[in-house]
Amino acid sequence: MCGRYVLINGKRVFLTYKELRVKDDGHMDEHLPRYNAAPMQHMPVFAQRGGELIALQMLWWLIPHTSKDGKPASVAFNARAETIETSALFAPYFKGSRCLIPADAFYEWKKISVSVEAKGKMKLVEEKHPMCICMKNEQPFMFAGLFSVWKNDKGEEFPSFTIITTAPNALMSEIHHRMPVIMPERHFEMWLDRTYKNTGALKKMLVPFPASEMKAYRVSSYVNNARNEGPECMKKVE
């Protein structure tokens, strides 16, 4: 799964992906920096709207456009790559409402068994150590996602998104049994093209990112609380 991530500077994303022609309405950095972004918060997303690629603030938790009350779908902040073509919820968006979510890093919690003393006896207990995962070159990257635009009775738009997850690569398998899909730049154009409907070809893109290009390190439990923000969330601990 992917339940927390980092995006510090939108301008740095544009500098990293100069060939990605995104129209920015000035709101790209509206909620940034975010060192501990969590579901039900608004974050910038790249998607095609009205025939052009734009940066748009969206709610992280998919609200189906068919919703009668504008409430998010159950556990829809992530979408599984393996079932995305057949899911009643996600399949329509996979065919025509795909997006990219810029990020600098993401967090996952690694389960560790440790020995502790209790009433004079040693026993094994399970701890969850927060890990920060990013690129070795520390450059921004893009999650693959899907988006929806729900409209209320007044015609007001409420865009939302979900992050697609897949099986872990060698690095992530030591931390968690899932990881977010990180989209290589060579696939950006096809992934964002809403007229491209070959879901078989699109699904082949939803694979683990090369572990050789990534790194992971432990951070403090400060990041556990989604209300905590700031560079301390990413600070390495031994």
* Residues designated catalytic: 2, 108
How would you label 48-58 residue by residue, b for 16+ Cβ within 10 Å and e otherwise?
Answer: bbeeebbbbeb
Residue 149 burial by CB count (10 A; 0-12/13-18/19+): exposed, middle or buried? middle
CA distance 90 to 112: 33
**Structure token pair of residue 192:** 């964002």
CA distance 68 to 236: 45
| Residues contacting 92, CB < 8 A, separation 6+ | none
Going by C-alpha positions, the residue among 190, 135, 111, 149 that lies closest to residue 5 is 135
**Do residues 73 and 63 touch, judged by C-beta distance below 8 A?**
yes
